[in-house]
Amino acid sequence: MAKTYIFLGPPGAGKGTQAQRLVEEKGFVQISTGDILREAVKKGTELGKKAKEYMEAGKLVPDDIIIGIIKEKLKELEGKDIILDGFPRTIPQAEALDKMLPEVGRKLDGVILFDVPDEEVIKRLSGRRVDPKTGKVYHIIFNPPPPEIEVIQRDDDKEEVIRKRLEVYHSQTAPLIEYYKKQNKLQVIDATRSPDEVYTELLSVLK
């Protein structure tokens, strides 16, 4: 049976980076809710049309529509190992996912929490700078831009915005951590280390 994993962790924990490596090196498919919502809207599927109405009105797309779109996607990806990134975000979504997976012939193999303290997240994200001409991303500590390049800080990389995002993350995701702990599905990885070290541990967890 194809494998199904959920990645949890705060913004800036490196979930996307790690998922990308699994996609390139191990043939996983990364499913991010935002991407598949946009794809369904673009394709003009029934659920995509419904989602579009909410998105255009600036409202959150209801859980049943998101679950429906994910279910369609999983049917398409039969036999492929997948990572759910950014979903579920809430307990009702997690419960709906538990119910839906057997319907598409899958089970949840594990939930991986990329654990990074808030202060480290703030250091990582608030240090990001972008070259507006090329879109290349630098970091004032880890990867400083050359002196001749004028870089800017994006609004969502400002400290007060990051703190707000972390508040939302903790209020939504903390209950999920407990939920999957009770199911004995949760594995915690210390994501403060280098991406290579994190990836090595991730591979041993996925075995």
Encode pLDDT of 43-60 as tens digits.
Answer: 999 999 999 998 888 888
Write down the catalytic residue from 71, 73, 165, 185: 165
**Domains of the chain, earliest start first:** 4-205 (3.40.50.300)
Encode pLDDT of 152-168 as tens digits.
Answer: 999 889 999 999 989 98
Q: What are phi and psi of 195, to 5 degrees?
A: -55, -35
89 is catalytic: yes
CB 130 within 8 A of CB 137: yes
What pLDDT is attached to residue 145? Answer: 93
Write down the catalytic residue from 21, 71, 89, 185: 89
d(CA 83, CA 92): 19
**Sheet with strand 186-190: strands edge to edge:** 29-32, 82-85, 4-8, 110-115, 186-190
Tell me: is residue 9 an annotated ligand-binding position.
Answer: no
Residue 84's pLDDT band (boundaries 50, 70, 90)?
very high
Q: What are phi and psi of 119, to 5 degrees?
A: -65, -35
194 DSSP 8-state letter: -
CB 182 within 8 A of CB 191: no
123 is catalytic: no
What pLDDT is attached to residue 101? Answer: 95
Mean pLDDT across 173-197:
94
Report pTM.
0.86
Write down the catalytic residue from 154, 158, 163, 181: 154
Encode pLDDT of 95-143 as tens digits.
Answer: 999 999 999 999 999 999 999 999 999 999 999 999 999 999 999 988 9
106 is catalytic: no
DSSP E strand stretches across the chain:
4-8, 29-32, 82-85, 110-115, 128-130, 137-139, 186-190
154 is catalytic: yes
Average pLDDT of the residues of the chain: 92
